[in-house]
Structure 1
Amino acid sequence: MSNESDNGKFHEGDVAFIQSLAELLNASNLAQISVKREYGEHDRLTVSLSKQGKVTTVAAAPAPVPAPAPAATPASNAPAAVTNEDPASLPGAVTSPMVGTIYLAPEPGATPFVTIGQTVAEGDTLLIVEAMKTMNHIPSPRAGTVKRVLVDDGTPVEFGAPLMVVE
């Protein structure tokens, strides 16, 4: 990897950031990680790493670049029907507000916060995303019924990844 891109030099820490993403990808069961860092209106870094096809793209872009839709691994308690639709585009999709590790229960062996078919109120805790040793409770953005759980307990997620569907 060189220290320059189409737009000039990488920012200090970008190489370490990219190496950290690569380590996260290798240590997890994720197939792809895509991240966009914005340093200013016309200065951003877009990084896409993928285990499939061994494609690695790093670019500092002067114009907005749409991020690819994050992929999710269906949880073991998700419905058996497999579709090609992007879970993040489903009505009622709840996405991750941060990169971290998912926990479906308050502690190991405890009852999950929610189950498929359960009715939840706006603000009820759906799950926890652990980021930097901090347990972040993810509240339901709306009242409704949990239709799908799209993640498994203890798995890493990226920002914007679909977690659940609450309709």
Structure 2
Amino acid sequence: MTKDHAAADVAFIKALAELLNANNLTEIAVEREYGENDMLSVRVAKQAPAVTNVQHSAPSAAPAAQAPASAPAPSADPADHPGVVASPMVGTAYLAAEPGADPFVGVGAQVTAGQTLMIIEAMKTMNHIPAPHAGVVKRILVADGTAVEYGAPLMIIE
């Protein structure tokens, strides 16, 4: 960043931070070229709150549908589980096709490979997240409408 662009660059960075917050993003990276050997490279990021072991069910589900599992050992990281379904992108996770609709799957549901588990919205695009293999949904690790990072554990399917 040269002295000629300092004030404009500070305003640009502030605008990126506002854009980050206004759109529920966790990170923005931009490169701005002014000419040969004169550029600005900016990465604005905020740490998203960690969501672990959140089990979510639709309000219409029976209260006993999700019995609490035995407490895992403190060192048991869901990301290390062999049946974990990890987020393939950064975005907002939705467990149902639209607000008020039944979720795609719930804890205890039998799923087939390729079946839609949830949607992750990224840049106004709805991306269906398929089951990588058949099995039973043991845990749902994100709540509806929460921000997820790349590689974050979303579900456990055994």
Q: TM-score range by the shorter chain?
A: 0.5 to 0.7
Aligned length: 128
Question: 2: distance between equivalents of 1:99 and 1:86?
Answer: 20
2:125 counterpart of 1:147:
no
SS in 1 for 2:85: strand
**Map of 2:157 onto structure 1:** 166
C-alpha change, 1:97 and 1:51, in structure 2 (3 Å) is: closer
Q: Secondary structure at the match of 1:117?
A: coil
| Normalised TM-score (structure 1) | 0.60
**Cα distance, 1:74 vs. partner?**
2.6
- Equivalent in 49, 53, 65 of residue 74 of structure 1: 53
Partner of 1:40: none
Q: Give the TM-score normalised by the residue count of structure 2.
A: 0.63
Unaligned runs of 5+ in 1: 4-14, 36-44, 53-70
Per the alignment, residue 39 of structure 1 pairs with none
In the TM superposition, what are the counterparts of 1:49-68 in structure 2 within 5 Å? 50=47
Greater share of residues in helix: 2
Matched, 1:129 2:108: no
Kept in 2: contact 1:72–1:162 (CA 8 A): no
Q: 2:83 aligns with which of 85, 92, 95?
A: 92
> What is the root-mean-square deviation in Å for CA atoms of aligned residues?
3.8
Question: Is 1:110 paired with 2:101?
Answer: yes
Deviation at 1:83, TM superposition (A): 4.0
Unaligned runs of 5+ in 2: 2-11, 29-41, 57-65
Inter-partner Cα distance in structure 1 for 2:140 and 2:19: 27
Structure of higher CA gyration radius: 2
